[in-house]
Chains A and B, each alone.
Chain A
Amino acid sequence: MSSDGGTPVLAVNGLRRAFGGLVAVNDLGFEVALGEIMGLLGPNGSGKTTALNLMSGVLRPDAGTIRLMGQDIAGLASYRIARLGLARTFQLVRVLDGMDCRENIRAGLAFQKPHLTAAEAELRIGALLARVGLAGHDQRPAADLTYIDRKRLELARALAAKPRLLLLDEWLAGLNPSELAIGIDLIRSLRADGITIVLVEHVMSAVRALCDRCIVMSSGRKIAEGLTADVLSDAAVVKAYLGGVAADA
């Protein structure tokens, strides 16, 4: 690891993006340290996904910097950002339906440098399938997978790139309680591998279980930041995000 403890994996500063008159992300700033799981919360339309899209290069920011391991990636093309060690999943799960599970994961690692040999790649793919709980599904077309297995496959593809930073966009949404427990364990286990994670999530039990710290957005702005327990009990957050209801949806 070239990173010392001092450089945050991700440092966002003064980030802004407007769509016409609507400022979707407004002066957003935060840091994520190595090995940390950072929750990015907020009601629908608060700018979370826009923020993820700015970090992963889908959108160009109007202003601000995004530093990945100290390097400014704001405005770079997605493929460059991906090669610098940022991987993500999508709010609406995106797997390559016309390909089998192995090929889906191969897509995640084939375009990263240094290139692996074919044998190394096959070994990695097998390990990743096992890692996300898809062992034995190698040749299965992605289109035939169940919802949670599609999520697993998408995660395996993101992990294939050996990312330094992983952005998970509501990866746990739509899972039933037992699947949720499996999903939480899986994400928790990633931290042990030294992967730093930004988690956009509405499932509060998962946020409590996983996130070291959280920031909360509302109308494009950061309205709270701190340790998860503190943030979730913050009066302003409860008002903006949970509409005053007890913070345990």
Chain B
Amino acid sequence: MSARIAGIGSLALAAIALLAFVPRLGNAYYLALSISLLQYTVLATAWGMFSGPTRYVSLATTAFFGVGAYTVAVLGEILPWPLVLLIAAALGAMVAGVVGLSTLRLSGVYFVIFTFGLTELIRQLVVWFEVNKSRVLGRYVFVNITQADIYWQLLALTAAVFLLGWLIARSRLGFALRVIGEDETVAKHCGINTTFAKVALFTISATIMTLVGAIMAPRWTYIEPSIAFNSMISFQVLIMALLGGAHRLWGPVLGAIPLTLLFELLSARFPNTFTIILGCIFLVIVYMLPRGVAGLFERRSAPSAKTTQRVTA
């Protein structure tokens, strides 16, 4: 087992080292595309970290992404960059903690609707604040961050997310989340503080999403609430994670990569009918691949595992 872990670990390190050279290729389009790929990989993986085991479907991705982006818009020019990221992460964690404590008692569809509403609420709060207090509608983001810097930061975050997800999956907290996803009543009777476990993981997941928003913000030179809080991100991330399979740490990336490429293609070719196509894709995924691409792999490998068992028995 530990040999396998070491193998996968060194493979992952090699992949990251290789990916770090993408900006050196000098092709602006590929760099931009790679940034999108990493962005959605991190967002979908972070989404799956919470929603996969607990099966709580969250549409709050945009809310946290936007909080991160807006933190940069407000503080980016005033404070040193690492401090800005730190503040963004702290804000995201705070919002997630408050939201988690107040909403994770809701179940099923109520939670979905609340998280969707939350995005809109935060967006309206920001609009209100900007119009009435700061008297601006949008903000210019002038920070000394290049596209390559964005890429490297996202790559580092990707590595961190997978490491963190792996550690959580092996931890007592990760196991608790799986039990909660199976049967919350049983979880409580096993001595699991379900509220704490859910809020903790929701907060971790949201903090990562907030960091993505913050890192991505310098990509736009101009930010306004409708850009930072674009609810399409929540839906895209949800679809990617479901396509890949949210019950595995490596599942969402299997959805994030093909769908980012597909969305890239579709939004360029069919800018007006893009959302309709998106909806159809979502339907197909839910009907055809209820356990995602990861589930397909498992189905393939499951019978062979049984045969080996029989052979060895």
Contact = CB atoms under 8 A, between A and B. Distances in A.
Contact of B182 (A58, A83, A96, A115): A96
Given A107-B179, A110-B172, A79 B192 contact: yes
Interface string A158-198: 00010000000000000000000000000000000000000
Among B176, B181, B182, B192, residue most surrounded by chain A Cβ atoms (within 10 Å): B182
Interface in B217-253: none
A99 interface: yes
Contacts of A58: 185
Interface string B172-195: 100110110111011111111110
Given A110-B172, A111-B172, A77 B179 contact: no
Nearest to B186: A94
Contact of A94 (B185, B191, B194): B185
Give the size category of B's interface with A: 10 to 19
Among B175, B176, B178, B189, residue most surrounded by chain A Cβ atoms (within 10 Å): B189
Contact of A111 (B178, B183, B190): B190
Nearest to A139: B309
Contacts of B190: 79, 82, 107-108, 110-111, 157, 161
Nearest to B309: A139
Contact of B191 (A90, A97, A98, A161): A161
Contact of A96 (B172, B176, B183): B183
Interface in A146-162: 157, 161
A112 interface: yes
A106 interface: yes
Interface in B148-187: 172, 175-176, 178-179, 181-183, 185-187
A87 interface: yes
A49 interface: no
Interface in A44-77: 56-58, 77
Contact of B183 (A79, A94, A110): A94
Nearest to B175: A110
A82 B182 contact: no
B175 A78 contact: no
Contact of A82 (B176, B181, B183, B188): B188
Contacts of A161: 190-191
B182 A87 contact: no
Among A107, A112, A161, residue most surrounded by chain B Cβ atoms (within 10 Å): A107
A202 interface: no
B189 A56 contact: yes
A16 interface: no
A83 B187 CA distance: 12
Interface of A: 56-58, 77-79, 82-83, 87-88, 90, 94, 96-99, 106-108, 110-112, 115, 157, 161
Given A99-B178, A157-B190, 18 more contacts: A58-B185, A77-B193, A78-B185, A78-B188, A79-B193, A79-B194, A82-B191, A83-B191, A90-B185, A97-B182, A107-B187, A107-B190, A108-B190, A110-B176, A110-B190, A111-B190, A157-B186, A161-B190
